[in-house]
Amino acid sequence: MSALVDIQGLSRSFGGPAVLDGIDLQIKPGEFVALLGRSGSGKSTLLRVLAGLDEACAEKAEIPVGRAVVFQEPRLMPWKRIIDNVALGVKSPNAREAAEQALADVGLSHRRDAWPLTLSGGEAQRGALARALVRTPQLLLLDEPFAALDALTRIRMHALVDELWRKHRPAVFLVTHDVWEAVALADRILVIDQGRFSLEINVDIPHPRQRSDPRATQIESDLLSQLGVEQNHLKHHQAPRAERMTHP
The one-character DSSP state at 111 is: G
pLDDT > 90: what percent of the chain? 81
Q: Domain ranges in the chain?
A: 1-66+173-248
Using alpha carbons, select from 114, 161, 112 the residue that is nearest to residue 133: 161
Q: What is the pLDDT of residue 88?
A: 93
Q: What is the pLDDT of residue 234?
A: 47
Instruction: Judge whether 105 and 33 are in contact, CB under 8 Å.
Output: no
Give residues with Cβ within 8 angstroms of 242, minimum separation 6: 199, 200, 201, 219, 222, 223, 226
Can you list the positions of beta strands (E) in 107-210? 139-143, 171-175, 188-193, 196-202
Q: What is the pLDDT of residue 89?
A: 87
Question: How is domain 1-66+173-248 classified at the architecture level of CATH?
Answer: 3-Layer(aba) Sandwich (3.40)
H/E stretch holding 7 reads strand 5-13
| Mean pLDDT, rounded, for 90-114 | 94
The β-bridge partners of 36 are 191
pLDDT digits (tens, 9 = 90+) for 139-191: 999 999 999 899 999 999 999 999 999 999 999 999 999 999 999 999 999 99
Q: What is the pLDDT of residue 235?
A: 47
Instruction: Judge whether 31 and 1 are in contact, CB under 8 Å.
Output: no
**Residue 232: exposure state from Cβ atoms within 10 A (0-12, 13-18, ≥19):** exposed
Cα 25 from Cα 189, distance rounded (Å): 12
